[in-house]
């Protein structure tokens, strides 16, 4: 058994290869999994930061190794998550056009039941400086269930409290969520190039898990899923192969009350 990099009550963070570490966990042990895997978009493109041209290169872990190798990678870790989910468990995966279609195909190949496709619309997305494309202003989330026969958890009444410019309080929450990109106030402990906003993970965790449930994030990064899980009384396990990001996650966890 691998020893945690960091551990406190109901929280454990592991440093290392996600696939290898997941293989040490017991079958059917998680109620919910959120995964923010590599999008494979760090291949020479440009973006806009503070009004200036900047490279989209994030790190070597975000570089594509070719469509076939990328798909094999996605298939392997998704297969492991299915083993780890309880029969009532669900998984959420985030992505863009660079990886989300592979993810969707892999989920179907592994016989998951697709539940929803959520569009996370970013009203403050940076402009497209090349003026050759529409501005990239959203990411896609796929929500899927392990079993095609056993019902999943969905806190329907609670989700009616979610509110933004497209979703109105006490109405059914729609599949387009208007949530700004991660604000600077959530990066005071350090920066991660793909850090997800607290509000996004709050909706995911509250809608599809209960207090005391056990959540896994195999690409935990700077720990937003961990922070949300701790704040809302869920048990949590996170894995990342970059110690510098786990250090940020630990600092963020220690600030949660």
Full set of structural domains in the chain with CATH:
6-254 (3.40.50.150)
Compute the distance between CA of residue 121 and CA of residue 20 in angstroms, rounded to an integer: 34
| pLDDT mean across residues, the chain | 93
Place of tokens 């979703």: 167
Distance from CA of residue 111 to its chain's centroid? 21
Query: CB-based burial of residue 240 (10 Å sphere; 0-12 exposed, 13-18 middle, 19+ buried)?
Result: buried
For 14-20, the CB contacts below 8 A with 24+ separation are 14/237, 14/238, 14/239, 14/240, 15/239, 15/240, 15/241, 15/243, 15/246, 16/239, 16/241, 17/241, 18/77, 18/218, 18/219, 18/239, 18/240, 18/241, 19/76, 19/77, 19/80
Q: Please, which residues have CB within 8 angstroms of residue 97's CB and are 6 or more apart in sequence?
A: none
pLDDT at 154: 98
pLDDT at 66: 84
Residue 83 has pLDDT above 90, yes or no: yes
Compute the distance between CA of residue 58 and CA of residue 219 in angstroms, rounded to an integer: 15
pLDDT at 218: 98
pLDDT at 56: 57
- Torsion region of 233: left, alpha or beta (phi above 0 gives left; psi -120 to 50 gives alpha): left
**Rounded mean pLDDT of 71-85?**
97
Sequence-ordered strand ranges (E) for the chain = 6-8, 11-15, 30-35, 46-49, 52-55, 85-95, 113-121, 138-145, 176-178, 214-217, 235-240
Query: Is the Cβ–Cβ distance between 208 and 153 less than 8 Å?
Result: yes
At 154-210, the pLDDT tens digits run 999 999 999 999 999 999 999 999 999 999 999 999 999 999 999 999 999 999 999
Confidence (pTM) = 0.92
């Amino acid at each position: 058994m691998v020893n945690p990099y960091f551990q406190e009550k109901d929280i454990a963070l592991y440093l290392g290869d996600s696939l290898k570490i997941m293989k040490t966990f017991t079958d059917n042990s998680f109620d919910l999994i959120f995964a923010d895997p590599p999008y494979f978009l760090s291949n020479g493109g440009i973006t806009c930061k503070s009004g200036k041209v900047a490279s989209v290169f994030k790190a070597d872990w975000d570089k594509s190794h070719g469509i076939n190798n990328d798909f094999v990678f996605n298939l392997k870790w998704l297969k492991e998550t299915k083993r780890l989910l309880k029969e009532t468990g669900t998984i959420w995966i985030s992505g863009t056009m660079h990886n989300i279609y592979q993810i969707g195909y892999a989920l179907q190949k592994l016989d998951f039941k697709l539940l929803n496709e959520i569009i996370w619309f970013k009203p403050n997305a940076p402009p497209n400086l090349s003026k050759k494309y529409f501005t990239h202003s959203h990411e896609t989330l796929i929500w899927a269930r392990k079993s095609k026969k056993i019902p999943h958890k969905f806190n329907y009444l609670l989700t009616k409290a979610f509110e933004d410019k497209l979703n109105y309080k006490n109405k059914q929450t729609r599949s387009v969520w208007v949530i700004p990109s991660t604000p600077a106030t959530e990066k005071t402990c350090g920066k991660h190039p793909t850090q997800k906003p607290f509000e996004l993970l709050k909706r995911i965790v509250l809608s599809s898990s209960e207090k005391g449930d056990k959540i896994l994030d195999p690409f935990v990064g700077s720990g937003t899923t961990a922070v949300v899980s701790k704040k809302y009384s869920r048990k949590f396990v996170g894995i990342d192969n970059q110690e510098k990001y786990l250090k940020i996650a630990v600092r963020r966890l220690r600030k949660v009350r």
